[in-house]
Amino acid sequence: MVTEKIKQLAELKAKAAKIEASLEAQRPAALAALPAEFGFDSLSAFIKALRAAAGQKYKVKAAKAEKAPKAARRRKRGRITEEVKAAVKAATEAGQTGAEIAKELGISPASVQNVKKELGLTKSRKPAPPEAAPAI
């Protein structure tokens, strides 16, 4: 009894798949015939009439994504001015850390490091290679 119902279900699924395939094959022809069926010369005239009937005067534009709140927007790249460089130099000489300087000036720690490097206020990690001894 259960196996018969399973067979019936499989047959019905196959029949539904055939009907769906038939509809998919007929759909393009039916859609192409719509303008002539309603008395329009061309597809563009038909579309124009549809838009007018729907109350749309102009072409439909894609919906824009909503802007994020101001606090969540990505900030523009900060400008490192001469004043900022002078402040970094003074703070470094006063013994402040890079993170403290960055927080105080509102720039990133990487920017502080770049300014310090530019001003020659950083130490080199690698020792200078020894000079080659002259050959005798």
Where in the chain are the domains?
A: 2-54, 79-118
**pLDDT tens profile 85-97:** 999 999 999 999 9
- Rounded-to-integer distance, Cα 83 and Cα 91, Å: 12
Per 3-state DSSP, the chain is made up of helix, strand and coil in percentages (nearest 5) of 60, 0, 40
Q: What secondary structure letter does DSSP report for 136?
A: -
Verdict on whether the full-model pTM lies above 0.85: no
7-45 pLDDT, tens per residue? 999 999 999 999 999 999 999 888 888 888 888 888 888
* CA dist list (Å): 5 to 1, 2, 8, 41, 75: 6, 5, 5, 52, 64
The answer to whether 85 and 120 are in contact (CB under 8 A) is no
Measure the CA–CA gap between 33 and 53, rounded to whole angstroms.
19
CA 44/CA 58 separation, integer angstroms? 13
